[in-house]
Structure 1
Amino acid sequence: MTRRTVRIAMNGVTGRMGYRQHLVRSLLAIRESGGIDLGDGTALWPEPVLVGRRDLALKAIAERHGLDEWTTDLDAVLTDGSIDVYFDAQVTSARESALRKAVAAGKHIYTEKPTATGLDAALALARLAHESGVRHGVVQDKLFLPGLLKLKRLVDGGFFGRVLSVRGEFGYWVFEGDWQDAQRPSWNYRSQDGGGIVVDMFPHWEYVLHGLFGRVTSVQAHAATHIPRRWDERGQPYDATADDSAYGIFELESGVVAQINSSWAVRVNRDELVEFQVDGTEGSAVAGLRRCRAQHRSGTPKPVWNPDLPATESFREQWQEVPDNREFDNGFKAQWELFLRHVALGTPYEWDLLAGARGVQLAELGLRSSAEGRRLPVPELSL
């Protein structure tokens, strides 16, 4: 098979997500499998060029994985005519300017979200990329998780009848950093550095709801900072100025009402770190990262409320496991493969910078809704 190389500047690979999910479990995994079969006797071969600010960390990653190229000079990479794609997994506050430079240099764009710190900037970036003619995509990984792929199978198969509501629970306890190390970087809890759970998670909820059930048309949210004092990576205390929990109600164009709680200050009492329950006239389902369980109308028990007697039935056991019916790959890797096919062949790709702007819009309106204490409409965006 003939090898066709696509060179990808990867900015932010020294961070947890950029390294683990995008480099190791996506691009390097694609290489280990022989590349992406384009169906014409050609294998698309991703060649990462590591970019970041810490030269020693970049060198260590390159040596660990047998990679030849790394640099701390982003401008030099963007002026390199051999680079095809620019990928960004930096902190949010640094992303917009780097993406603008990459578009100006004619590079195709693939980026983590949020794509910018505000809607105006995110929408302007989407328009700039569209007008420049570069191909562009935004990571929307949760749509590619096994649990949500099974849930989509139920939606597409008409299992639910008319969908009534969606209830989501996401989160876990992130340690404050004093007596146990925090699982997330300290900038996540400083609003001045682009932190906050609304900014982080509402873009996810936008594309999950949009992709499965329809466009979000209104939002009512309450954001809170439950843990006001944390300790950073050097063991120094700091004030948490960003929200660590958010409680949102989203109305969809289809009439579906979605309630999603997001928190880094909650202890887990569920099967997975995120779960969505979907209720419809014909059936219900509960989906997480990997599992999906369903209960059809014909098999729904008839519980009776009686607080004077203990429960004699296990409600969880009354649900049926939705089978895999296929092999599921890593969600990040699956979306990378789709985007690189889009770059190489021009195949359709819907998760672009305009989709990314919708996520920024919902986060911005969610924070405004919380500050003003009212429900806000979510206007439809266009280029």
Structure 2
Amino acid sequence: MSTRRLGIIMHGVTGRMGMNQHLIRSILAIRAQGGVALSDGSRVMPDPILVGRNEEKIRRLAEQHGVERWTSDLDRALGERKDELFFDAGTTQMRPTLLEKAMRAGKHVYCEKPIATNLEQALHVVRLAKELGLKNGTVQDKLFLPGLQKMRMLKDSGFFGRLLSVRGEFGYWVFEGDWQAAQRPSWNYRAEEGGGIILDMLCHWRYVLDNLFGAVRSVSCLGATHIPERWDEQGRRYDATADDAAYATFQLEGGVIAQMNSSWTTRVHRDDLVTFHADGTLGSAVAGLHDCVIQPRAATPRPVWNPDQRQTLDFYDTWAAVPDNQPFDNGFKAQWEMFIRHLCEDAPYRYTLMEGAKGVQLVEAALESWKERRWVDVPALEV
């Protein structure tokens, strides 16, 4: 069978996420396996060109990983007709402009989220893609995590019965940068540069909640800037102007209540950096990045409250692991393969720019809730 070339303009891949997850573990891994198989038996081989403003940095990255094509001239790259797809993992503030530029050059687009810093810009690129008839996608990586795929399987099988509630915990301690280097870039803590955990993480929670537990209908959110000063990559002190923690409650379709704590100022005492605990009438489950444990109704212990005696019941021991009955590939790579099949043979694909816009919608509602100290509805989004 034949192999088709797919030219991909990859922008923003010198950053941690773009380089590790999208370039190395997705596109280069797909190339190493011989491309993406289509339904007719043919294959698609990605042919990336790396684009970045820093010529020396982008050249070194290309040479290090054996990528033949690279450039610091985005306009020239967009003008190359043989490259059909534009991918962006750069800064959120630049993304709407870059997506529009790429689409007006006739490119299909795939990008990281958030797709914009506000809903108006997000809907603009959604409408433009529709107007120009271009295929488009937004990264929804957490849906492809093994732990959440197991959670989806439980829900689809009817394990939970009637779903009651979901509790999520995400985060870890990000060092301030003075006596130990921070694990995140300093712009994350500057609102004027598109920083803030609400913008960064509630886009994720929107697609997780919508796809696994029920469509988000309203939100109550309290944000906080717990650490008011930090030190940047050059060791300079700066004022943190963006939120570093968010405490949100969501009302979902069907009466399900979801709570999600997101924090870069918490120390981890749980099984993973993110966990989701779902309770239903017939059973409960807790999922992390890779593992998922369950406790069905018939195997639920019967604890008795007695503060005068030390607890003798080992609660962790009463849960059973969901087995790894299938192999799980890297989540970013799995979605890349799905989008490439959509692009090349029109395979079904639902994670479009509109799904990215829904994430931005929830961010705006959460920020409004925090500012006005009230519940905010999240209406159905249309263009």
The aligned residue for residue 306 of structure 2 is 306
The aligned residue for residue 29 of structure 2 is 29
Deviation at 1:382, TM superposition (A): 1.2
The aligned residue for residue 364 of structure 2 is 364
Distance 1:30 1:129 in 2: 26
Could you say what secondary structure the match of 1:168 adopts? strand
Deviation at 1:39, TM superposition (A): 3.2
Asked if the contact 1:38–1:44 (Cα under 8 Å) also holds between the matched residues in 2, the reply is yes
The aligned residue for residue 172 of structure 1 is 172
The aligned residue for residue 230 of structure 1 is 230
Distance 2:182 2:3 in 1: 43
AA aligned opposite 2:81: G
The aligned residue for residue 381 of structure 1 is 381
Q: Could you give the per-residue CA deviations for residues 199-218 of structure 1, whole angstroms, max 9, x where no partner exists?
A: 00000000000001221010
AA aligned opposite 1:198: I
Distance 1:217 1:11 in 2: 34
The aligned residue for residue 241 of structure 1 is 241
Distance 2:208 2:21 in 1: 19
The aligned residue for residue 76 of structure 2 is 76
The aligned residue for residue 216 of structure 1 is 216
AA aligned opposite 1:327: P
Could you say what secondary structure the match of 1:58 adopts? helix
Q: Counterparts of 1:115-126 in structure 2 under 5 Å?
A: 115-126=115-126
1:63 equivalent in alignment to 2:63: yes
Distance 2:53 2:178 in 1: 27
The aligned residue for residue 348 of structure 1 is 348
Q: Could you give the per-residue CA deviations for residues 169-198 of structure 1, whole angstroms, max 9, x where no partner exists?
A: 000000001111100000000000000000
Could you say what secondary structure the match of 1:77 adopts? helix
Q: Counterparts of 1:320-359 in structure 2 under 5 Å?
A: 320-359=320-359
Distance 1:366 1:71 in 2: 39
AA aligned opposite 2:304: V
Distance 1:326 1:187 in 2: 39
Deviation at 1:40, TM superposition (A): 2.3
Distance 1:189 1:298 in 2: 47
Distance 1:166 1:202 in 2: 15
Distance 2:201 2:376 in 1: 18
Structure 1's unaligned 5+ residue stretches are: none
1:267 equivalent in alignment to 2:259: no
Could you say what secondary structure the match of 1:254 adopts? helix
TM-score scaled by length of structure 2? 0.99
Q: Matched residue pairs, number?
A: 383
Distance 2:136 2:24 in 1: 22
Deviation at 1:112, TM superposition (A): 0.3
The aligned residue for residue 45 of structure 2 is 45
Structure 2's unaligned 5+ residue stretches are: none
Distance 1:324 1:382 in 2: 38
Asked if the contact 1:169–1:260 (Cα under 8 Å) also holds between the matched residues in 2, the reply is yes
TM-score scaled by length of structure 1? 0.99
Asked if the contact 1:213–1:254 (Cα under 8 Å) also holds between the matched residues in 2, the reply is no
Could you say what secondary structure the match of 1:100 adopts? helix
The aligned residue for residue 12 of structure 1 is 12
Distance 1:189 1:3 in 2: 45
Q: Could you give the per-residue CA deviations for residues 91-123 of structure 1, whole angstroms, max 9, x where no partner exists?
A: 111111000001111111100001011001101
Asked if the contact 1:285–1:294 (Cα under 8 Å) also holds between the matched residues in 2, the reply is yes
Asked if the contact 1:197–1:262 (Cα under 8 Å) also holds between the matched residues in 2, the reply is yes
AA aligned opposite 1:368: E
Percent identity, aligned pairs only?
58
Could you say what secondary structure the match of 1:238 adopts? strand
Distance 2:39 2:219 in 1: 44
Could you say what secondary structure the match of 2:294 adopts? strand
Distance 2:284 2:41 in 1: 44
The aligned residue for residue 292 of structure 1 is 292
The aligned residue for residue 184 of structure 1 is 184
AA aligned opposite 2:344: A
Deviation at 1:287, TM superposition (A): 0.3
Distance 2:254 2:339 in 1: 29
Query: Which stretch of the first structure deviates more once superposed, 298-307 or 32-41?
Result: 32-41
Distance 1:341 1:40 in 2: 11
Distance 1:342 1:37 in 2: 12
- Cα RMSD over matched residues? 0.7
Could you say what secondary structure the match of 1:278 adopts? strand
The aligned residue for residue 110 of structure 2 is 110
Deviating 4+ runs (over 2 angstroms): none
